């Protein structure tokens, strides 16, 4: 505790730096993933390819990806942008799959009735499909929020500042309190962002109860009506 | 692109293929630490997960614990155990086990839970013992998901074992940290490429295995499933039928 | 003979599924438990093989309280057929039918030979033996379910809405098949359904249950139609709406029978 009190400024600053790394990555991965996920949902042939690519991407160890990216991006190894790109890629790998599932979860009947009512393709996407896919999308986003905040700390070993710097610094100087502070701060930050997601979700999608948004998948929606039990 | 060629040249350099800290030695370290951690973590997580999936008891705490553990920053756990236990393999092994448990646990209980409650009910009705239900019904039917959990846990271990080279002298990660210190980017990138290849190969092996463990009867239904999804109720998943149904 | 003596069941959540039931199920006859959902009929059925234990009262088979029997051994001695067949999706038809004999430790070859005979008994082609349940139609799956129920040649066969999930044409076929089987085998069949027509068709004794797990009337179909115990029974069997009141009209010199809705039901044999 004494370590924390005497280093509050440092911790506060690192939290801001950490947010500056993870929040853009989270938002970017969501924005990029939704159209890709929609493609995978809409065109069956693309689904296998896109989802396999995501699975491959996700299989790459983070540290290796951090090191392997600079030759491709032309950025320096210690550039925070390099780290943001890597985190975004991991986010995409997770959300694309959930986004595809999310669009799958919109019942065909609903989509057909929207078309029948006279929605244009674009209008139907924004007015019907996206909002209905929202709860499942949110569940994917929440996974990404937690993993991104945690992964961002890894950048510290190659010299990108974040809450992870508390781990490397604490390890080198043998200060246990510093490492524990880092762990606690990282978890709290993840929980705070997660909570923010839930709150935003509730505001934007008041029709979805928090219980339903937990589990995605098509079978969900159908079986609840179909099963007599 | 020059950087990439340098890295490939570094990988192919015969000097890196023999002696202390050679590529084969690091590969062996990386694979064996992954295997050891996987075995220990599986011994803890799989029976626990099976029990939770079978009985439905303790599901909420398990979800919370495995979810909470997922938020743990791996580097933080590694360095913490590093200063507690010093340089050596004990610290990374313990840290890696802790980090591998959540995906294994989640895969195990999700696998056992995924089995249609009506199938289990029927197995009980014809006179299977609980142990027989676990072994002859739930395990074969839930195995693909359990293996899926083992797959993601293994990838996680491989990735974290790379990072663990920060606190211990083991695995491909050493090349990355060595290169970082000596400003030898070819070595760093070479090490990274080796880890990526290792991860993708192992992932591919698991993908094949996951396909092989799908029971034939279930595979046969896959083609139909596209048209008529099974009417499994999510509402009853996780609630064991211990008292019989209530109509 | 199966006897229920003052049997009640209250589930942990407080619902009273079965309330003080006394009933005797005669041997070698078909007894049908019929009622709307929530009437406790399935719970009553499941007490016979100890899938559910009564909160109070006793269930006796041939004078022995089932509570004294080990549940697993008891279940293996009683055939059970359920809705959606309850087959094991990862096992072939033949292995599904042979499940219980194999559990009992019979030799695989004997169990399989017997299972093939059972496929004949329930009217399934032997060529289906190596298929998986998912490769069969709903009606075929249900037949496999019946074959599995008969595999250990049990004296008692419990059937829990076995034909509830198949289409009406297949259901009619399966009902006739069951009548034929019962004529040949003479098991003690306890059958649960919510379909009163099915109950009257199959049951030697029909037990009408109402919400809250009480028995309204237990008698032969004839007796129930002739003397419904109360208004609930009359309404349930449709007697009050005149649905079952038939009348005869002469049409072109033949006596045609019409049902309560005025639809032609048949011609009187002279």
- The pLDDT tens digits of the residues spanning C97-117 come to 998 888 888 899 999 999 999
pLDDT of residue B235: 31
**Residues B88 and A176 sit within 8 Å (Cβ to Cβ):** no
- Cα(B222)–Cα(C27) distance, integer angstroms: 43
Q: How far is CA B102 from the centre of its chain?
A: 9
What value does the mean pLDDT take over residues A111-129? 81
What value does the mean pLDDT take over residues A91-97? 92
What value does the mean pLDDT take over residues C162-188? 90
For residue C209, which of C40, C55, C29 has the smallest C-alpha distance? C40
Asked if pLDDT for residue B243 goes beyond 70, the answer is: no
What value does the mean pLDDT take over residues A4-22? 91
Please, where are the H alpha helices in C66-208?
A: 71-76, 93-97, 99-103, 108-121, 138-150, 168-185, 196-202
At what angle are helices A44-59 and B185-212 packed, to 10 degrees? 130
Mutation for B interface: C46, C89, C94, C194, most B CBs within 10 A: C89
Task: Please report whether residue A78 resides in a domain.
Answer: yes
Higher-pLDDT residue of B58, A99: A99
The shortest CB-CB distance from B79 to any of A158, A167, A227 is to: A167
Q: Which residues of chain B neighbour A149 with C-beta distances below 8 Å?
A: 71
pLDDT of residue A74: 86
| Binary contact (C72, B141; C-beta < 8 A) | no
What value does the mean pLDDT take over residues B87-94? 88
| Binary contact (A227, B236; C-beta < 8 A) | yes
Give the helix/strand (H/E) hosting C160: strand C156-160
Other CB atoms within 10 Å distance of the CB of residue A106 = 21
pLDDT band at A6 (very low <50, low <70, confident <90, very high): confident
pLDDT of residue C239: 66
**Residues C144 and C85 sit within 8 Å (Cβ to Cβ):** yes
pLDDT of residue C240: 63
How much is the mean pLDDT over chain B? 83
In the Cβ-directed half-sphere of C79, how many Cα atoms lie within 13 Å?
25
pLDDT of residue A222: 30
What value does the mean pLDDT take over residues B223-247? 34
| Binary contact (A70, B76; C-beta < 8 A) | no
Task: Please report whether residue B91 resides in a domain.
Answer: yes
- Residues 6+ positions from B90 with CB-CB distance below 8 Å: none
Rounded to a whole number of angstroms, the distance from the CA of B197 to the nearest CA of chain A is 9
Tell me phi and psi for residue B91, to 5 degrees: -60, -55
Task: Please report whether residue B234 resides in a domain.
Answer: no
What value does the mean pLDDT take over residues A112-133? 82
The shortest CB-CB distance from B217 to any of C37, C72, C134 is to: C134
Q: Which residues of chain C neighbour B139 with C-beta distances below 8 Å?
A: none
Asked if pLDDT for residue C228 goes beyond 50, the answer is: yes
Question: What is the tens place of the pLDDT at every residue in A156-197?
Answer: 999 899 999 999 999 999 999 999 999 999 999 999 999 999
For residue A50, which of A39, A59, A58 has the smallest C-alpha distance? A39
Q: What is the DSSP letter of A209?
A: -
| Binary contact (A60, B71; C-beta < 8 A) | no
Q: Which structural domain range is residue A89 located in? A: 2-219
**Alpha carbon of A123 to those of A40, A114, A131: distances in Å?**
20, 9, 12
Task: Please report whether residue B244 resides in a domain.
Answer: no
Other CB atoms within 10 Å distance of the CB of residue B222 = 10
pLDDT band at A109 (very low <50, low <70, confident <90, very high): confident
Task: Please report whether residue A225 resides in a domain.
Answer: no
pLDDT of residue A212: 42
Task: Please report whether residue A182 resides in a domain.
Answer: yes
| Binary contact (B247, C100; C-beta < 8 A) | no
At what angle are helices A80-104 and A130-152 packed, to 10 degrees? 150
DSSP codes of every residue in C34-66: E--TTSSHHHHHHHHTTSS--SEEEEEETTEEG
Structure tokens at B23: 């590529």
Domain span(s) for CATH 3.40.50.300 in chain C: 2-238
Touching partners of A (3+ C-beta pairs < 8 Å): B
Touching partners of B (3+ C-beta pairs < 8 Å): A, C
- Cα(C197)–Cα(C211) distance, integer angstroms: 19
pLDDT of residue B33: 94
| Binary contact (A227, B231; C-beta < 8 A) | yes
Task: Please report whether residue A229 resides in a domain.
Answer: no
pLDDT of residue B217: 77
What value does the mean pLDDT take over residues B57-61? 84
- Cα(C146)–Cα(C123) distance, integer angstroms: 11
Tally of helices (H runs) and strands (E runs) in chain A: 11, 0
How much is the mean pLDDT over chain C? 89
Structure tokens at C32: 């049908």
Asked if pLDDT for residue C170 goes beyond 60, the answer is: yes
Task: Please report whether residue A224 resides in a domain.
Answer: no
Please tell me the total count of domains within chain B: 1
Strand, coil or helix: A71: helix
For chain A, how long is the longest CA-to-CA vector?
A: 67
For residue A227, which of B232, B224, B228, C85 has the smallest C-alpha distance? B232
Asked if pLDDT for residue A81 goes beyond 90, the answer is: yes
Mutation for A interface: B79, B151, B157, most A CBs within 10 A: B79
Question: What is the tens place of the pLDDT at every residue in A30-78?
Answer: 999 999 999 999 888 899 899 989 988 888 999 999 999 988 888 888 8
Q: How far is CA B180 from the centre of its chain?
A: 29
Mutation for A interface: B76, B95, B176, B221, most A CBs within 10 A: B76
pLDDT of residue A218: 34
Other CB atoms within 10 Å distance of the CB of residue A92 = 25
* CATH code, C2-238: 3.40.50.300
pLDDT of residue C66: 93
- Length of chain A (residues): 229
pLDDT band at C242 (very low <50, low <70, confident <90, very high): low
Asked if pLDDT for residue B203 goes beyond 60, the answer is: yes
pLDDT of residue B223: 44
- Residues 6+ positions from C109 with CB-CB distance below 8 Å: none
Tell me phi and psi for residue B221, to 5 degrees: -85, -15
B230 to chain C: closest CA residue: C134
pLDDT of residue B231: 32
Task: Please report whether residue B84 resides in a domain.
Answer: yes
What value does the mean pLDDT take over residues C77-84? 88
CATH number at residue B108: 1.10.3720.10
pLDDT of residue C270: 63
Which of A209-223, B40-54, C13-27 is predicted with the least confidence, judged by mean pLDDT?
A209-223
How much is the mean pLDDT over chain A? 85
pLDDT band at C262 (very low <50, low <70, confident <90, very high): confident
Higher-pLDDT residue of B58, A93: A93
In the Cβ-directed half-sphere of A227, how many Cα atoms lie within 13 Å?
20
Higher-pLDDT residue of A22, A210: A22
Put simply, whether A224 touches B (Cβ < 8 Å) is yes
Put simply, whether C12 touches B (Cβ < 8 Å) is yes
| Binary contact (B72, A179; C-beta < 8 A) | no
Q: Which structural domain range is residue B50 located in? A: 24-223
Question: What is the tens place of the pLDDT at every residue in A215-225?
Answer: 433 333 332 22
Asked if pLDDT for residue B110 goes beyond 80, the answer is: yes
CATH number at residue A127: 1.10.3720.10
- Cα(C27)–Cα(C187) distance, integer angstroms: 7
Strand, coil or helix: C158: strand
- Cα(B151)–Cα(B154) distance, integer angstroms: 5
Task: Please report whether residue B233 resides in a domain.
Answer: no
pLDDT of residue C243: 65
């Amino acid at each position: 505790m004494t370590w924390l009190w005497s280093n509050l400024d440092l911790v506060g600053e690192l939290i801001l730096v950490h947010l500056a790394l993870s929040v853009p990555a989270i938002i970017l991965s969501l924005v990029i993933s939704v159209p890709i996920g929609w493609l995978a949902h809409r065109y069956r042939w693309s689904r296998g390819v896109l989802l396999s690519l995501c699975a491959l991407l996700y299989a790459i160890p983070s540290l290796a990806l951090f090191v392997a990216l600079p030759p491709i991006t032309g950025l320096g190894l210690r550039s925070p942008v390099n780290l943001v790109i890597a985190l975004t890629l991991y986010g995409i790998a997770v959300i694309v799959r959930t986004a595809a599932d999310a669009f799958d979860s919109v019942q065909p009947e609903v989509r057909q009735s929207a078309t029948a009512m006279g929605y244009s393709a674009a209008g139907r996407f924004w007015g019907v499909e996206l909002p209905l896919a929202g709860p499942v999308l949110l569940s994917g986003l929440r996974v990404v929020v937690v993993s991104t905040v945690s992964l961002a700390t890894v950048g510290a070993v190659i010299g990108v500042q974040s809450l992870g710097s508390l781990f490397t610094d604490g390890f080198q100087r043998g200060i246990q309190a510093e490492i524990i502070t880092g762990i606690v701060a990282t978890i709290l930050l993840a929980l705070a962002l997660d909570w923010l997601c839930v709150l935003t979700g509730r505001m934007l999608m008041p029709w979805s109860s928090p219980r339903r948004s937990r589990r995605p998948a098509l079978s969900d929606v159908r079986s609840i009506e179909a099963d007599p039990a | 692109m020059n950087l990439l060629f340098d890295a490939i040249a570094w990988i192919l350099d015969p000097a890196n293929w023999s002696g202390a800290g050679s590529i084969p030695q690091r590969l062996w370290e990386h694979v064996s630490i992954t295997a050891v951690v996987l075995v220990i973590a599986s011994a803890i997580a799989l029976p626990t997960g099976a029990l939770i999936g079978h009985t439905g008891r303790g599901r909420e705490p398990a979800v919370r614990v495995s979810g909470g553990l997922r938020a743990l920053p791996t580097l933080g756990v590694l360095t913490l155990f590093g200063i507690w236990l010093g340089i050596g393999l004990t610290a990374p092994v313990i840290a890696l086990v802790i980090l591998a448990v959540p995906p294994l646990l989640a895969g195990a209980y999700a696998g056992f839970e995924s089995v249609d409650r009506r199938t289990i009910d029927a197995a009980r009705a014809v006179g299977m013992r609980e142990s027989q239900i676990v072994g002859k019904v739930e395990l074969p039917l839930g195995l693909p998901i359990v293996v899926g959990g083992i797959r993601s846990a293994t990838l996680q271990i491989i990735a974290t074992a790379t990072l663990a080279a920060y606190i211990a002298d083991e695995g491909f990660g050493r090349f990355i940290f060595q290169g970082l210190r000596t400003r030898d980017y070819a070595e760093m990138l070479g090490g990274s490429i080796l880890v990526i290849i290792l991860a993708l190969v192992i992932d591919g092996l698991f993908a094949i295995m996951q396909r092989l463990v799908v029971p034939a009867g279930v595979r046969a239904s896959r083609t139909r499933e596209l048209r008529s999804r099974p009417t499994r109720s999510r509402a009853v998943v996780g609630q064991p039928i211990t008292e019989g149904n209530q109509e | 003979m199966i006897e229920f003596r003052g049997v009640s069941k209250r589930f942990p959540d407080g619902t009273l599924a079965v309330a003080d039931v006394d009933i005797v199920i005669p041997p070698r006859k078909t007894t049908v438990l019929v009622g709307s959902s929530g009437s406790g009929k399935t719970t009553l059925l499941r007490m016979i093989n100890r899938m559910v234990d009564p909160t109070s009262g006793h269930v006796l088979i041939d004078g022995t309280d089932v509570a004294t029997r080990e549940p697993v051994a008891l279940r293996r001695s009683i055939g059970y057929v359920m809705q959606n067949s309850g087959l094991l999706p990862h096992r072939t038809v033949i292995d599904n039918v042979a499940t219980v004999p194999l559990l009992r430790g019979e030799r695989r070859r004997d169990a399989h030979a017997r299972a093939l005979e059972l496929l004949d008994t329930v009217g399934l082609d032997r060529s289906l033996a190596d298929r998986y349940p998912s490769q069969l139609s709903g009606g075929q799956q249900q037949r496999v379910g019946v074959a599995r129920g008969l595999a250990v040649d049990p004296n008692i066969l419990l059937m829990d809405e076995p034909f509830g999930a198949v289409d009406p044409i297949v259901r009619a076929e399966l009902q006739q098949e069951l009548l034929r089987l019962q004529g040949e085998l003479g098991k003690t069949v306890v059958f649960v359904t919510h379909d009163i027509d099915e109950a009257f068709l199959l049951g030697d004794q029909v037990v009408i249950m109402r919400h809250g797990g009480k028995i309204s009337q237990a008698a032969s179909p004839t007796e129930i139609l002739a003397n419904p115990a109360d208004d609930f029974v009359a309404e349930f069997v449709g007697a009050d709406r005149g649905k079952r009141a038939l009348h005869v009209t002469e049409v072109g010199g033949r006596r045609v029978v019409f049902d309560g809705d005025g639809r032609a039901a048949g011609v009187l044999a002279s």
